[in-house]
Amino acid sequence: MSKIGVCIETFFSDLSYKERIQKIHSIGFTNYEFWFHNKRFDGRQLIDESKDLNMIEELNDKYGLITTDFVFNHPDGGIVGSLIDKNDRNLLIDSLGEVISIAKKLNCKKLISGSGNKISALPNEEALDNMIEILIAVSKICEKDDITILLEPFNTKVDHPDYFLDDPFTCLKVLKAVNHKNARMLFDIYHMQIMSGNITGFIKENIEYIGHFHVAGVPGRHEPGNSELNYPFILSEIYKLGYKGYIGLEYWPSMDHTESLKQTKELLERV
């Protein structure tokens, strides 16, 4: 079974989520992810709208699909709470049960956690301490249902200027302090190439802390085949390390969406 999946938010945004899932299935993908359980992305903006979980569950059963992950908390949707803000601790922990119940319904084993945006009056070390403390509590809750929380660094140079966690080494420092098997990094290769580079070097040294990958071309966040990065080489190195997880396509297609996914699938599944 292919481990390359699709983020259904950045593709076919003019279609309903039912049609998006059917589309990626028709192209030959067996797994996918989405952003928020309570937002719809129409290609331009996020709209308040809960996803039809019964429909998603039925399509997964019908087509043998896997929902690999979706977002627990983020500044833009899901649970709008910040890991670095101690005032959001109870909100995040109290909301986790509902989100885990959604994950269990969809047989989804991973949840994405954003760090939250910068807080001007909050010193970095205190922000990191808050993040560690909240993630320890979250990880213990997730462990009960065999769910992994994925902490994701973003780039602040192009896409997310206000985001706090923009460095893979800081993310690694946090995860080592959390020291829990149910807390791992979502290593978005596009974001981390922009921020720090040395992609394969970092992955080789720290693969045990990485629970999921996202890919996109750099620059522009378009097709991985149109990039300064050699993605077939990178994925080959990842697989050599024994990585058995999924790799999500989270990019903005620069051509017909079906053709874009077909070309990317062919490129990356050659590895």
Give the residue numbers marked as catalytic: 152, 250
If you search the block for the tokens 């992950």, which residue do you land on? 69
How far are the Cα atoms of 138, 224, 263 from residue 156, in angstroms, in the given order? 25, 20, 29
Contact 196, 206 (CB under 8 A): no
Antiparallel, parallel or unpaired: β 46-48 and 39-41:
antiparallel
Give the whole-angstrom CA distance, residue 86 versus residue 84: 6
Q: Which amino acid is at 109?
A: K
**105/261 Cα distance (integer angstroms):** 28
